[in-house]
Amino acid sequence: MIDLSVRMQHLTLSMIKDDAAKASIELAKLETVHLIESDLFTELLDEKPGHHFQQLFQSLKRRFQKISQYLPIDWHSNTQLKEPLSVETLEHAKQQAKDIWSKLSLMEEEIRSSKEKINIKRQLAGSLNRFENLDIDLGKLSHTSQFIKVFTGTIPSIELNQLKRALSLADAAIDVFYQSDNHEYITVITDIDQQEDILEILKSAGFHEISIPPELQDRPDKIRQDIDRELAEQQQLIDSRNLEIEDIIRQSLQKIDFISAIIRYAQPYAELAGSLTGKGNLVRLEGWIPYGKQQQIESALQAKLNYPFVMELRDPLPNELASVPYKEKPRRLMQPFHALVSQYGIPVYGEFDPTRFFAITYVLMFGMMFGDIGHGAVIILLGIILRKKLPGLLIFMSLAGLSSMAFGWLYGSIFGYEHVIHPVWMSPMEDPSLLLVVALIWGIGFLLVAYLLSIYNLIALNQKQRALYANNGLAGLLLFIGAIYAGYNYLVNDSFGLQETMAIMFPLGLVLYGSWQHLEGSIPEKILLLFIEALDNVINIMSNTLSFLRVAAFSLNHVALALAVFTLASMMDTVGHIIMILFGNVFIIVLEGGIVAIQCLRLEYYEGFSRFFSGKGKRFRPLKMESVL
Amino acid sequence: MLQGNKSYIATRLGILADRLIGIENYAAVIEEDVDSLITRITGGENLEDFKLEQVQNLLLSKALQDFNMLFRPFNGNEKAFLNFAVHWYELSNLKALIRGKFTGSSDTSIRKELIDLGRFNQLPLDILLEADDPNEMMRLLEQTPYSSIVRQARDIYHAEGQNLFALDATIDREFFTGLAQRLRFLDSNDQQHLGSLFGKLMDRLNILWLIRYRFSYGLSPAKSYFLLSTTGRKLHTGNLMRLAKLETIDDLISQLPEPLNELLANQLNLIQIENIMEHYVIEAASNAIKHSPSVITRLFAYVLLRESEIQLLHATIKGKSLNFDEVLIMEATGGNVH
C-alpha cells in the first residue's frame, strides 16, 4: 500500500580504489544512489580511504567560499574536467585558493584598518566642536618635554575608574576634558622615564591617541581641515583597495574557474568518501537505489571504470526499514499536499503515505467550513493570479476553491448571500444541530480511518504487539468503537448498563495490558501509571471526537460573519453599502479563509497524523553534482 | 522564578551534589589507579575504546549536560548570569585559538586543544580555524561576542615580542567584569548570597594574578593593578592598590587582610598558594551548596565544585598516565591541602 513511494533496493558496490573517484562522478550524474555508512565487515574493512580527500575537499570548499564573496553576481563556472580528481589535484587547487585569498585578505585588512582610522577621525572631528568652545590650547595636550610626557586620547568610559587608580600608583596625572556617549577624552601627564609603562597600561585600557600635528596645535579649525583631508585620504585608500580586489579577481578568474570546477567534480567523491570503507586496494560502498535502476548504474560504471567491480542488490530487510530512504513518485496533483505532509514528517519506508488521505480530507473539510460559491471562485482566481510567483499554490487553491464552491452550492451561499440561489441541501443556519451531528459523524469516520491506518502501519513496520494492544492499535480501535457505542446509547437511548460498560472496559483492559508489558518500576508505580493512562485514553477519545465539531462551527461562523457584514452595510447609504459589502467579503476571505485553512491543518496533524503517522522516515537524497555557484 | 521550579532545581541539585567528590576525598581519589578513575568518568562503559585525550572533553561534556539541565527552568537575568558563568570554559578555546594562530601552529594542533562546549559554544570554531592568518582571524572574531578583546589582540600581534599573557589577562578581566555586571542585575537576596561566594572567588584570582604579574612577569605596580579583575570579598580597591606596591611575596602575604594572611602565612611557593586559595573557595562553595537559601548561589557553587572535580580527575589521570609520582600529583592538584 506504499503506492505513493518508490520501491528501494539495497546496493553494495565493491571496486578497486583507483576507480572510486570515477565511480562517484558517474553515480552523481545518475542521481540514483542514496549513500549510507556501512556497518558490515567493519573489522575487516577498517580503512577509510577517502578520509584525507574529504578533509582536503572541505578545506578547499571553505576557502573558495571566502573568495566567492568577491565574485560578480552573475559569475558561474563552465569548465568541464575530464580526468578524475586526485589528492594532489586538490592540494594544488587548495594552494592556488590560498594564494588568491592571501592577496584578498591583505586588501581586506587594509580596508578594515582604514575604516577604523576613519571612525576615530570622525569621533575626533565631532569632539572638535566642543574643543572650540573650551578655548584651550591644543598644543598643550600633546606636549613632550625633557621631563614630562603628555598623552591625549580616548578610552572606553568603563575603563576610567580602574585606569585612574592604576595611574595613581605610578604618580601619573589624568584629566578628563571631554565625555562622549561611551568614551572619555583624557590627558595623561607622566614622568618621561615612565612613559613606556604608562603607554602599556593605556593600551590595555583601549586607549586611542589623538595625534595633533605641531603646526596646527592651537587651531581647531585647521585641525578639522586636516581631519577632513585624512578622511578623504583614507576613503581614497579604501576605494583603491577595492579596485585592487577587483583586479586580483579579474586576474585570477581562470584559476577561480578551475578551482570551482574541481570542487564541483570532487564534491561527489568527497560525499561518497564518508560512506567508503576498504582494505588495501579494495573499497566498498553501500546505499539505496530506486528499484529498476540497477541496469542503468551497471552500464554507466562499465563504460567508465578501468577495473572490474561487483554490484550486489537485495530488498530491504524487515529490521532496517527505518533506515531505508523514502522517495515519493512524482505526482503533480499531490505536490502541494505532499509539501504540507512533509512539514509534519517523512513516511518511514513501508509506512502508509498519508498524502492522498490528507488531500481528500483536507479539501473536503475546507469546503465544509468555508462553503461559498463566490468565495471559492475568488480563491481559484487568486491561485491563477499568483501562479507565476507561487506555482505550487495553483493546484492547492483550485481544489480548495472548488470544494468551497461545491459546498456553497449545497448551502446556497454566494458571497454571503443566503437567498440568491436555492440551497441544494440547506443553509447552515437553518438547522445548526443537524450540522453539528454531521460534523460529529465526519469526525468519527475520520478517526476510524485513522485507527485502521495506524494498525496497518504498525504491522508494516513490524510492530505486531503494538498493532494488537497499543492505544492506536486494534485494542485502541475497539475502545474507540466501544466508547462511541456507549456514548450514543447514553445520549440517544438514555441507557448505560453492563453492555455499554463492557464495550469500554474490555478494550480498555486490552490497552492497559499492552502498556503493562512496557512499564518499568514497582507494582504500585505501575498501577498508578496505568490508572492515569486509562483516564487519559478515555478523555482523549472524547476530546478528539468533539474536536471535529469545529467543522460545523466554522461553517456557522462563515454565515454569521456574512450576516454581520450585511447588517453593517444596511446602516449605510448606497456607496457605503457597496464598499462595506466589498471590504466585508475581502475580510471574510482573508481572515476566515486563513483561519479555516489552519484549523483544517490542525485537525489533520493532531487528530489524524499523531494517531497513525510516525513521520520519522528519511528523505531520499541521492549523490549528485552540485553547482558551487 | 516559580516556587515549583525552585523546588525542582533544589531536588536535582541535591542529587547531583551528592555525586560530587567531597574535598575530604580528594587525596583518596589521587591514590586510585587510572582504570578505576576512568571507570568513574565513563561509568564502566566502552572502556576498551577510551582514549586518554578524551578525558577532559568527556568530563566537560557531562558537566555541561548537567548544567544545561539545571539552568533550563531559569530565565531572564538569572539565566543570563548562569550561561555567562559557563562561558568561562570557552575562554580557554579563545586563548588556544589566538595563541595558536599568533604562533603559526597547525590547525590540527590547535584543534586538539579545543573543548567541545555543545550548546554553550559561541565561537564559530571551524570558521576561525580556517582563517589563513591572524589578521583574518581577528576580523572574524570581531563578529563574535568576544569582539571587545580584538583591538588589544591586534596591538599585541603587531607589537614586538607578542606579550600573550597580557591578552590572557584582558580576556579574564573582561569575563569577570561581565560576570560581576550580570550579578548586579539579580534580585537583592541572590546578590547578597552569591556576592559573598563570588567575592571569595575573586579574592583567590586576584591574589594569584597579583603575585604572577608582580613577581613572575615583573610588571610595574600600576600595570599589575590595572590588569586585576573586579574586586573581591576581602580584597577591595584600596587593599589591592596597596598590595600592588609591595616588593616581595612575603610582604604581600603578611599585608593581606584576615583570614587570608593566616591561610597563606609562610607560603612562598606559588603552587601551594594556589592550592590553599582553591581550598578556600571550595570550602565556601561546599558550604553554600548545603546551606545557602539562594538557589542561584547553590547552582553557582555547584559549577565551582564541578570545575574543581574536573581539574582533579583530569590532572590525576594525566599525571598517572605519564607515570608521575603520586606525591607530585598530590602537590599539583592540591590533594595534600584538601
Cβ distance of A170 and B221 shorter than 8 Å: yes
B155-176: average pLDDT: 77
Looking at the complex, does the CB of residue A198 fall below 8 Å from at least one CB of chain B? yes
Q: CB pairs below 8 Å between A and B: how many? A: 65
Interface test with B, best of A165, A188, A208, A209 (most B CBs within 10 A): A165
How far out from the chain centre does Cα A206 lie? 41
**B-contacting residues in A 57-76 (Cβ below 8 Å):** 59, 62-63, 66
Task: Return the pLDDT at A603.
Answer: 94
Contacts of B48 in chain A (CB under 8 A): none
The total number of residues shown for chain B amounts to 338
- pTM recorded for the entire structure: 0.67
Query: A168: nearest CA in chain B?
Result: B222
Do B311 and B333 contact (CB within 8 A), yes or no? Answer: yes
Contacts of B139 in chain A (CB under 8 A): 108-109, 112
Residue A132: pLDDT above 70? Answer: no
Q: How would residue A84 be classed by pLDDT, with cut points 50, 70 and 90?
A: low
Q: Which of A276, A272, A282 lies closest to A17 in space, CA to CA? A: A282
- What is this model's ipTM? 0.79
| pLDDT tens column, A178-223 | 787 778 888 899 888 888 888 888 888 888 877 665 544 556 667 7
A76-97: average pLDDT: 82
CA distance A548 to A567: 30
A562-577: average pLDDT: 92
Q: Which of A11, A623, A14, A10 lies closest to A283 in space, CA to CA? A: A14
Helix, strand, or coil (residue A177): strand
Residue A152: pLDDT above 50? Answer: yes
Contacts of A183 in chain B (CB under 8 A): none
Residue A448 dihedral angles phi and psi, to the nearest 5°: -60, -45
Do A576 and A569 contact (CB within 8 A), yes or no? Answer: yes
| pLDDT tens column, A329-384 | 878 888 899 999 999 999 999 899 999 999 999 999 999 999 999 999 999 999 99
Cβ distance of B223 and A197 shorter than 8 Å: yes
Task: Return the pLDDT at A134.
Answer: 56
Partner residue facing B222 (CB), from A59, A108, A170: A170
Looking at the complex, does the CB of residue A201 fall below 8 Å from at least one CB of chain B? yes
Residue A158: pLDDT above 80? Answer: yes
Residue A43: pLDDT above 60? Answer: no
* Sign of the torsion angle spanned by Cα atoms A554, A556, A559, A565: negative
Q: Which of A426, A436, A427, A431 lies closest to A559 in space, CA to CA? A: A427
Task: Return the pLDDT at A277.
Answer: 82
Task: Return the pLDDT at A46.
Answer: 60
Question: Where does residue A84 fall: left (phi above 0), alpha (psi -120 to 50 degrees), or beta otherwise?
Answer: beta
B235-243: average pLDDT: 87
Q: Scanning the structure block, which residue is given the C-alpha cell 577595492?
A: A242
Residue A131: pLDDT above 80? Answer: no
Cβ distance of B132 and A102 shorter than 8 Å: yes
CA distance B116 to B64: 10
Residue B292: pLDDT above 60? Answer: yes
Cβ distance of B226 and A168 shorter than 8 Å: no
| DSSP per-residue letters across B101-168 | HHTT--HHHHHHH----GGG--S-HHHHHT-SSHHHHHHHHTTSTTGGGHHHHHHHHHSTT--HHHHH
Residue A450: pLDDT above 60? Answer: yes
**B-contacting residues in A 84-143 (Cβ below 8 Å):** 98, 101-102, 105, 108-109, 112
Do A13 and A253 contact (CB within 8 A), yes or no? Answer: no
Residue A45: pLDDT above 60? Answer: no
Q: A323: how many CB neighbours lie within 10 A of its CB?
A: 15
CA distance B221 to chain A (A): 7
Q: Which of A596, A570, A157 lies closest to A375 in space, CA to CA? A: A596
Looking at the complex, does the CB of residue B133 fall below 8 Å from at least one CB of chain A? yes
CA–CA distances in Å: residue B156 to residues A31, A311, B133, B169: 52, 60, 15, 12
Helix, strand, or coil (residue A325): strand
Contacts of B268 (CB under 8 A, 6+ apart): B249, B250
Cβ distance of B245 and A169 shorter than 8 Å: yes
Cβ distance of A169 and B222 shorter than 8 Å: yes
Partner residue facing A201 (CB), from B177, B226, B244: B226
Q: Which helix (H) or strand (E) holds A467?
A: helix A464-469
Question: Helix B164-183 to helix A195-204 angle, to the nearest 10 degrees?
Answer: 50
Q: B280: how many CB neighbours lie within 10 A of its CB?
A: 20
Task: Return the pLDDT at A1.
Answer: 45
Cβ distance of B226 and A63 shorter than 8 Å: no
Residue A523: pLDDT above 60? Answer: yes
Question: Helix B150-158 to helix B88-102 angle, to the nearest 10 degrees?
Answer: 30
User: Among A462-471, B94-103, B222-231, which is the least confidently predicted range?
Assistant: B222-231
The total number of residues shown for chain A amounts to 629
Grid cell listed for A278: 576498504
B/e letters for A281-298, b = 16+ CB within 10 Å, e = fewer, are ebbbbbbbbbeebeeebe
Do A322 and A52 contact (CB within 8 A), yes or no? Answer: no
Cβ distance of A172 and B222 shorter than 8 Å: yes
Contacts of A561 (CB under 8 A, 6+ apart): A416, A584, A587, A588, A592
Helix, strand, or coil (residue A287): strand
Query: How does the average pLDDT of chain A come out, rounded?
Result: 87
CA–CA distances in Å: residue A5 to residues A328, A330, B22: 4, 9, 59
Contacts of B178 in chain A (CB under 8 A): none
Looking at the complex, does the CB of residue B170 fall below 8 Å from at least one CB of chain A? yes
Cβ distance of B223 and A63 shorter than 8 Å: no
Looking at the complex, does the CB of residue A362 fall below 8 Å from at least one CB of chain B? no
CA–CA distances in Å: residue B23 to residues A16, A159, B113, B337: 59, 38, 28, 9
CA–CA distances in Å: residue A214 to residues A141, A231, B90: 11, 19, 46
Do A124 and A227 contact (CB within 8 A), yes or no? Answer: yes
Contacts of B133 in chain A (CB under 8 A): 102, 105
pLDDT winner (highest mean) among A476-480, B109-113, B263-267: A476-480
B314-325: average pLDDT: 84
Cβ distance of A198 and B244 shorter than 8 Å: no
User: Among A442-456, B162-176, B177-191, which is the least confidently predicted range?
Assistant: B162-176
B88-110: average pLDDT: 88
**A-contacting residues in B 174-203 (Cβ below 8 Å):** 177
Cβ distance of B241 and A169 shorter than 8 Å: yes
Cβ distance of B130 and A201 shorter than 8 Å: no
Question: Helix A549-570 to helix A392-411 angle, to the nearest 10 degrees?
Answer: 80
Interface test with A, best of B48, B108, B125, B136 (most A CBs within 10 A): B136
| pLDDT tens column, A390-436 | 888 899 999 999 999 999 999 999 999 988 899 999 989 889 999 99
CA distance B278 to B275: 5
Q: Scanning the structure block, which residue is given the C-alpha cell 552500464?
A: A299
Task: Return the pLDDT at A39.
Answer: 65
Task: Return the pLDDT at A41.
Answer: 58
CA distance B108 to chain A (A): 12
Task: Return the pLDDT at A31.
Answer: 92
Question: Where does residue B306 fall: left (phi above 0), alpha (psi -120 to 50 degrees), or beta otherwise?
Answer: alpha
Q: Is the model more confident about A374 or about A270?
A: A374
Looking at the complex, does the CB of residue B79 fall below 8 Å from at least one CB of chain A? no
Task: Return the pLDDT at B44.
Answer: 64
A446-454: average pLDDT: 95
Task: Return the pLDDT at A215.
Answer: 46
Q: Which of A202, A182, A166, A593 lies closest to A401 in space, CA to CA? A: A593
Interface test with A, best of B125, B148, B219, B225 (most A CBs within 10 A): B225
| pLDDT tens column, A607-627 | 999 989 989 999 999 988 776
Task: Return the pLDDT at A415.
Answer: 93
Partner residue facing A109 (CB), from B135, B221, B244: B135
Cβ distance of B226 and A206 shorter than 8 Å: no
Query: A164: nearest CA in chain B?
Result: B226
Query: How does the average pLDDT of chain B come out, rounded?
Result: 85
Task: Return the pLDDT at A2.
Answer: 46
Helix, strand, or coil (residue B172): helix
